[in-house]
Structure 1
Amino acid sequence: MSSSNSNSDNGTAGLNLKTGPTNVGRDNDWLSYIVPSMQRKITKLNYDLIEECKRCKEDSVLSKAIRDDLESYCRDIRREIVKKMRNGCAPLFIACKRGSVPVAEYLVTVCEADIEQRGLYEVPEDHTFHFVTPLWCAVVSGKLPMVKYLIRIGCDINATSDSGSTPVRSACFMTHVEIVQYLVEAGADIKKPNINGGTCLINSVQSTHLCLYLINKGADVNAKDIQEKTALHYAIQEHRLETTKLLLEHGADPYVRSRYGDDALRTACIKGANQIFDYLKTHLEYSDERIAEAHELIGSTFLDEHNETRVAILHWRLAHHIRASHTPYLEKLPKVPLRKAYGNAVEFTTLEELDNIATDMDAMRIQSLLICERILGITHKDMLFRLTFRGASYADALQLQRCIDLWRLLLEVRVAHCSILHFDTCYAAQALVRLMVDLHKRKWNQPNGEMNPIVILDDVLPIFEDVFGVFSLMTDTIVEAQELLQVRPVFKKQQENFDRILKCVAHLIFLLNSTATTHEQKKLVFCSVRDLVRANVRSAFTCDTLLHLCVSRLNVIKSGYLNDENNLTIVFPNAKVIKLLVDCGMNVNAKNEAKSTPLHVAVQPYNYSNDIISLLLEHGADLDQPNKSDERPFNLIVSNPANTIPLMNFMNLKCLAATVISKYKIPYHNQIPKLLQDFVKQHEP
C-alpha cells in the first residue's frame, strides 16, 4: 500500500497526523486537506477541551482521555485545536480565568497555545465585556499563582485591554493587593492610564493600604483623568474619608478643579460627603464666602438626594449666619435671573424668609435649584441632573406645567451649550416632546377590553407657547446640524440623534397644528413650517423627508424618562399634518434612500388610509414611480382590500406613457424634450 493511500485511510491527503504536512505546497494551507470527518473530530475535541477547562479547579489537570486525544495529533493540529474559540474564549483563556496552572502549563508546553491570544472577559461587578489577554483575565480573576506562571513564561505585563487598561490598573480596581504588589515588583507600569486617563491610584481609592503602596512606588498623586479629576476627587465622591486624609497628607492638591470647576470642597458638597466636608473646612484654608456657599450647596444636596429637610435648613441657617457676620452682608453672587421655571422665585436673604420657606416643601425645592444654579452655574452636569430629576418629580405629582417649564429650561441649556446632535440634548428633547404629545392625546388603558381614560389634571396642556418654543429650539439649528453630518468622519450616534430629533420635530408640527387656535398663531405655524420645508431637512440614515415620517405609523418617540415604552402614543399617519406640509410646498414625490416616495410609505398595509392616500394623490403624488425594489404605489393600492380610491382619476397619459417606455425599455434619449426625459427616468426601476 502506498504512503498516499495510508494517509487517505487516516482521513487526510498528503498529511501525517503525527508529523504534520508531507507534500502540501504552502504551510498555511495544510488544514484544508483534512476531510470533513476528521474536521468534525477536531471540532468535538476542542469542544470537550473547553468544557473540561470550564470545570477545572486551581489544582486540576486535564483528563487522560483528553491528553491522549490531543497527543494523537501532530503539533500543528494541536496548535489549531487549542486556538479555536467558543463564545469568544480559547481553552488557555478559560484555564487562566479558572486559575488552573497545571492545565495552562500543559496547553502552553504540549499544545503551544498562544499566551497572548485574547478573549472576552465579563467583569461580574458591572457586567461589562472586555477583549483582553490571558494575563489580564487571570489578574482580574484574582488568580495569583496563574499570574506568576504567566509572567514567568514571558507574557506582556503591560498589555492593555480594549479600553487601554493595563493588568495592574485593573488589579487596583479589584483591590487585589498581592497581585498588584507582585506585578509592580515584576516591572508593571503604574503610571500608564487607560483611554480615559484613569490611573492606578484613581482606581485604588477604596483602599488606603493600596494607595499608600502606589504613592511609595512613585504614583503621581495629582495625575488627572480626561475629566480633569484627580484621585482626591474620586476618594471624596466615594465618601472615602481615610483615603482623602492620606492623599492630602501626601501632597494631593485640594484646590485643583475638574472640568466642571469642582475642587475638593465642592465635590464633597455635591456628593453629600458630610464627614469629608467637615474635615476639609476644619483643616484647610477657605474664605468665609466659600464656607457659606459650601453649607448652602451641601444643604441642597441633602434635600434633593436624601429628602433631609431638617439638615438642609440647618446648613442654610449656618450659611446665613456666616454671611450676616460680615458688614456689609456677604451677598449671594452671581445673581440668578428670574426664571418662569422657578416661578420667578428669588433666594432668601433673612431668617424670617427662610422660616417661611421651611414650611413649604415646594418652595424649598425651588430654593435648592436657585442655590445650585448660583454656585455651580446653569451648565454644570449636576445642575442639569437636578433640573431633570425635579421635573420628573413634578410629572409624578401631576404638576405637569411645572414639569414642562423645568424640562424646557433644561432643553434650552442643552441646545445652547451642546448641539441637537448631542445625546443628552436628544434625550431631553424626546422626554419633553413625548410628555406633551401624551398630554394632548391623553392616555387610555384597556383592562378587560374596556376603554378607561386616565385622568390628567390640566385639560389645556400643552399650551401653544410651550410647543412653539420647543419647536423653535429644535429647528433653529437643524440645518446647521445636518451640514455637520456631511463632514467626515460621520459618527453613527450623531446620525441616530439627528433622526430622533427629526421625529420630535414631526410630532411638534402635529402639536402646533393642534394647539394653534388664533389667526396669528396659525399664521406663525404656517410660516415656520414653510421655512422648515424649504430647508429640505432629511433623516440621516434613510434620507426621509418630514412627509415620509408623517405618513408612517413607525414614527414614534421613545423616552428613557417615561417608563411606558409598551404603551407608545401613536399620532401618525396624520392627515392634518400632511395637508399642512404639502400646503407649505413639500414635494410629494421626493424620494428617500430606497427611492420610495411618501406614497410608497403610505400604501404599506400598516400605514394604509384611503383619506391620506387620496390627499397625497390630490396634491400630485405619482402612482407609477418605482422604488429600488421596483414596487409601485398603484400595485400596492390595487392589491389592498381596503382600497376605495378610483385610481384612474389620478392617472394621466404622460404617466402611462412613461411607464410603458420604462417597462419595454423603449429608447427615448435625445428623442423627446429634456424635461420629459427626466420624467421618464423617474419611472425607471
Structure 2
Amino acid sequence: MIACYKGNIQIVKYLLSLKANINRKSVKGNTALHDCAESGSLEILKLLIEHGATMDVDSYGMTPVLAAAVTGHNHIVEYLIKLPHIVSRKERIAALELLGATCVDKKRDMIGALALWRRALHERYHGDGVPMPKPKTKQVAAYDYVVEISDPQALNDLMADPDEMRMQALVIRERILGPAHPDTSYYIRYRGAVYADAGKFNRCIELWNYALDMQQSMLECLNPMTQSSLFSFTELFSFMMGEEGKHTSRGRLVPPADVYEILRVFKKAVKEINHGNQSLSRLPNQDRDLTYLTRVTVITLHLASLLTRMLENRTISEDVQHEIHKAIFDLNKLGIRARLGRSLLHLASCRDVALLVKYPVCGFPSCHLIKVLLTVGADATARDDEGNTPLHLVALANPCPAKVVKYLLDGGAHLDQVNNNGETFASLLRCQQIHEIIDVTQYSSLKCAAAKVIKQFKIPYKGVVPQALEPYIEMH
C-alpha cells in the first residue's frame, strides 16, 4: 500500500514477486488499488489489476474509481471506466459525476465539469440497458434549494450561472459520497469560506451550519472535524465583530455579526460538550482523555465571550439578553471539568487558554464573560487539581485586570484562599502590588483573619468549631 501510494513501481513489483496479498485491506478498509487511485499511479494500478486486484469498497463505501474521482485523477478514472468487468455502469456514472464536482471545486474547471456531467447523463439515459434516472434528493436551504439537473440543455445553461453550478457540485458530492464522508463536509465548508472571502457572510454561515449539523449527526462527539467547524465559526464571528463597518479586500462592507447566528452556533457547541462529557463519564478515570473536551469547551467559551461582549457594547432587547444568559446558564449547569480539573470560570479567567484566532476581539481573562458566568451561578471559590481558584489564575495575567478581580471578589472569591502550594492571589502577582489592583480592606473580614491565624499557628480546630466552618478554615 505504501509503495503504491508513493508510486514506487520497482518495490511494488518486488513485493508482488514475494506473493504479497494484493487485496489486503487496511483498518479503514482501503486496498493497494485505492492507494494507486488516490496517488494517480496509473502504471502501478495496471500492474495490480493484471495480478488480480479487485474493486473493493473502503469503510466509506468508496471504490478505487470513486477515490480517483474525488482526488481529481482524470487519467485513472478514464482508464478504469473502460474496464466493464471490474467497473459497473452505475459506478461509471457516479465516477463521471463525482469527477465533474471535483473539477468545479478543486480545479475550478467549469467547462471540464460540464463535459463530464454530459457524459454521465448520456450514460444514464442512452447507455447499455434500461435508463437509470437520477435519484431524487432533498432540496436544501444551504444549497439554495437547487435540484440536480437531468436535462442536457439545462446543463448548457449552467455556464451562465456559476453559482448554481457550484451548488450542483455540492449536491452531487453529498448524494454519491454520503454525509459521513469527510470530503462532503470539507467542500461545503470550503465553499462557505469562498463566500466569506467575497463578503457574502450569510451564505457562508448557512453552509457552515449545514456542514456542522451533518458532522454532529454522523460523527462521534468531539471529533476533530467538528472542532474545526466550531473554531471556524469563532474566527468568522470574531472577524465580523472586529471589522464591522470596514470594507473587505473585495470592497464589500463587513456587516454586524447577528446575535441570533452566534447563539445558534453556541447552542450546537453546548450540545457537543454535553454529549462528549456524557461519553467520557462512562469511561474509567484512567481512560479519560480530556484534551478534545477541553478544546471544544474553550472554543465554546470564546463564542460565549462574543455574546457577552454584545451585552455590553450593543443596545439589544431584554428578550435577547435573557436568551444569552439562559444559554450560558445551560452551559454552566453541565458542571464541566476540563483538563487539570478546571471549571468554566477557571478557563474564562486563564490567559493561557485563549484561542489563536486571526481577529481576536476579546482576550482571556474575559471580563464580561466572567461577569455573566458569576451571574448564572458559577462558583468563584471552586478549586482545580492544583488547588487554584479562578482568582489564582487571574493573578498570573500580566498585567492583572483589576475589573476581573473585582467581579470575582464580589462573586464570592477569597483573597487569602491558598492553592496546593500555599500560594494566595497576592503571592502569585509578579509585576504589581495588590493595593494597585484593589482596596484590600474592602475585601478583608474578621472571619478571614481568624481563619488565617488558626492555620498559621496550626491551632487544632477540627471537632472544636462547628463542622460547617471547617472547609472555610481549610481554604485559608
TM-score normalised by length of structure 2:
0.88
Residue 571 (structure 1) aligned to one of 335, 355, 363? 363
Residue 259 (structure 1) aligned to one of 47, 59, 68? 59
CA contact (8 A) 1:394 1:400 kept: yes
CA contact (8 A) 1:551 1:572 kept: yes
CA distance, structure 2, for counterparts of residue 490 and residue 460 of structure 1: 47
- Between Structure 1 and Structure 2, the one with more helix by share is 2
Q: Check if 1:464 corresponds to 2:464.
A: no
Residue type of the partner of 1:261?
G
Counting matched residue pairs gives: 467
Highest RCO, 1 vs 2 (Cα 8 Å, sep ≥ 6): 2
Residue type of the partner of 1:576?
H
Q: Check if 1:274 corresponds to 2:80.
A: no
Q: How does 1:256-655 map to 2 (within 5 A)?
A: 256-285=56-85, 286-325=87-126, 330-333=132-135, 335=137, 337-442=138-243, 457-485=252-280, 487-488=283-284, 494-515=289-310, 517-540=316-339, 542-558=340-356, 564=358, 568-606=360-398, 608-634=400-426, 640=433, 643=436, 645-655=438-448
CA distance, structure 2, for counterparts of residue 643 and residue 442 of structure 1: 34
CA contact (8 A) 1:421 1:495 kept: no
CA contact (8 A) 1:539 1:545 kept: yes
CA contact (8 A) 1:298 1:312 kept: yes
1:574-612 Cα offsets, whole Å, 9 max, x none, are: 332222111111111111122121122223352522222
1:192-246 Cα offsets, whole Å, 9 max, x none, are: xxxxxx57x6467531x54344334322221112221112111222222222222
CA distance, structure 2, for counterparts of residue 604 and residue 206 of structure 1: 54
CA distance, structure 1, for counterparts of residue 247 and residue 455 of structure 2: 53
Match of 1:530, SS state, is helix
CA distance, structure 2, for counterparts of residue 631 and residue 204 of structure 1: 56
CA distance, structure 2, for counterparts of residue 204 and residue 511 of structure 1: 46
Residue type of the partner of 1:462?
A
Residue type of the partner of 1:272?
G
CA contact (8 A) 2:96 2:117 kept: yes
Match of 1:437, SS state, is helix
In 2 relative to 1, CA 269–459 (structure 1 residues): closer, same or farther, beyond 3 Å?
closer
In 2 relative to 1, CA 491–239 (structure 1 residues): closer, same or farther, beyond 3 Å?
farther
Q: Check if 1:670 corresponds to 2:472.
A: no
CA contact (8 A) 1:394 1:402 kept: yes
Match of 1:554, SS state, is helix
Alignment partner, residue 35 of structure 2: 234
Match of 1:314, SS state, is helix
Match of 1:283, SS state, is coil
Residue type of the partner of 2:334?
A
In 2 relative to 1, CA 443–665 (structure 1 residues): closer, same or farther, beyond 3 Å?
farther
C-alpha displacement at 1:287, in angstroms?
A: 4.8
Residue type of the partner of 1:666?
I
CA contact (8 A) 2:381 2:414 kept: yes
1:94-148 Cα offsets, whole Å, 9 max, x none, are: xxxxxxxxxxxxxxxxxxxxxxxxxxxxxxxxxxxxxxxxxxxxxxxxxxxxxxx
CA contact (8 A) 1:420 1:474 kept: no
In 2 relative to 1, CA 240–328 (structure 1 residues): closer, same or farther, beyond 3 Å?
closer
1:460-519 Cα offsets, whole Å, 9 max, x none, are: 443223212221222124244235445247579x53222211111111112233457333
CA contact (8 A) 1:601 1:607 kept: no
Segments of structure 2 that go 5 or more residues without pairing to the other structure are: none
CA contact (8 A) 2:6 2:39 kept: no
CA contact (8 A) 1:378 1:413 kept: yes
Greater displacement, 612-621 / 368-377: 612-621
In 2 relative to 1, CA 642–306 (structure 1 residues): closer, same or farther, beyond 3 Å?
farther
CA contact (8 A) 1:439 1:461 kept: yes
C-alpha displacement at 1:317, in angstroms?
A: 1.6
CA distance, structure 1, for counterparts of residue 98 and residue 51 of structure 2: 28
Match of 1:524, SS state, is helix
Segments of structure 1 that go 5 or more residues without pairing to the other structure are: 1-197, 445-451
CA contact (8 A) 1:420 1:426 kept: no
In 2 relative to 1, CA 443–544 (structure 1 residues): closer, same or farther, beyond 3 Å?
farther
1:347-405 Cα offsets, whole Å, 9 max, x none, are: 22323432332222222221111110011112212223322332332333333333333
In 2 relative to 1, CA 465–330 (structure 1 residues): closer, same or farther, beyond 3 Å?
farther
C-alpha displacement at 1:522, in angstroms?
A: 2.5
- RMSD of aligned alpha carbons: 3.0
CA contact (8 A) 1:552 1:602 kept: yes
CA contact (8 A) 1:588 1:597 kept: yes
1:637-667 Cα offsets, whole Å, 9 max, x none, are: 7952772532212222212111111111111
Q: How does 1:41-80 map to 2 (within 5 A)?
A: none
CA distance, structure 2, for counterparts of residue 592 and residue 231 of structure 1: 49
Residue type of the partner of 1:501?
V
CA distance, structure 2, for counterparts of residue 607 and residue 401 of structure 1: 38
Match of 2:81, SS state, is helix
CA distance, structure 1, for counterparts of residue 353 and residue 383 of structure 2: 17
CA distance, structure 2, for counterparts of residue 360 and residue 294 of structure 1: 24
TM-score normalised by length of structure 1:
0.63
CA contact (8 A) 1:204 1:210 kept: no
Greater displacement, 543-552 / 458-467: 458-467
Residue type of the partner of 2:372?
L
CA contact (8 A) 1:233 1:267 kept: yes
In 2 relative to 1, CA 549–519 (structure 1 residues): closer, same or farther, beyond 3 Å?
same
CA contact (8 A) 2:305 2:362 kept: no
Residue type of the partner of 1:472?
K
Residue type of the partner of 1:264?
P
CA distance, structure 2, for counterparts of residue 636 and residue 212 of structure 1: 66
Residue type of the partner of 2:308?
N
Match of 1:649, SS state, is helix
CA distance, structure 1, for counterparts of residue 349 and residue 337 of structure 2: 15
CA distance, structure 2, for counterparts of residue 224 and residue 308 of structure 1: 34
CA distance, structure 2, for counterparts of residue 609 and residue 302 of structure 1: 52
CA distance, structure 1, for counterparts of residue 93 and residue 4 of structure 2: 30
Match of 1:476, SS state, is helix
CA contact (8 A) 2:23 2:32 kept: yes
CA distance, structure 1, for counterparts of residue 76 and residue 470 of structure 2: 78
1:492-550 Cα offsets, whole Å, 9 max, x none, are: 9x53222211111111112233457333333222222222222211212x222211222
Greater displacement, 427-436 / 476-485: 476-485
